[in-house]
């Protein structure tokens, strides 16, 4: 759920740039650069966070970043990520 939300937010930013291009307000080369950055940096970072990480870490990260609310995660899982949420390392 968090991975999808973050991707949607990032795609939304790209969509607005495409809309601006269609209306003649965006530079095609800047948009190309934004797409490359999204593909090779942003998407890779999100995939690493959510697909390669320990699921408990990924949930704690998403809550700490405000992508998920703790109430969206079943209560029986809260004990698994509580220590991570209190950690300053994250």
Per-residue pLDDT 10s for the chain (90 aa) are: 999 999 998 899 889 988 988 898 878 998 999 999 999 999 999 999 999 888 998 999 999 999 999 999 999 888 888 888 887 666
pLDDT score for 53: 81
Distances (CA, A) of 71 to 40, 55, 59: 33, 17, 12
pLDDT score for 89: 64
CB 2 within 8 A of CB 68: yes
CB 43 within 8 A of CB 4: no
Looking from the CA of 79 toward its CB, the CA atoms found within 13 Å total 1
pLDDT score for 7: 92
């Amino acid at each position: 759920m968090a991975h999808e939300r973050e991707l949607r937010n990032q795609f939304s930013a790209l969509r607005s740039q495409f809309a601006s291009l269609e209306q003649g307000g965006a530079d095609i080369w800047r948009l190309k650069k934004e797409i490359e950055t999204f593909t090779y940096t942003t998407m890779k970072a999100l995939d690493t966070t959510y697909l390669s990480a320990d699921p408990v870490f990924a949930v704690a990260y998403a809550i700490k970043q405000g992508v998920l609310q703790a109430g969206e995660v079943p209560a029986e899982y809260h004990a698994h990520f509580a220590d991570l949420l209190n950690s300053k390392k994250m």
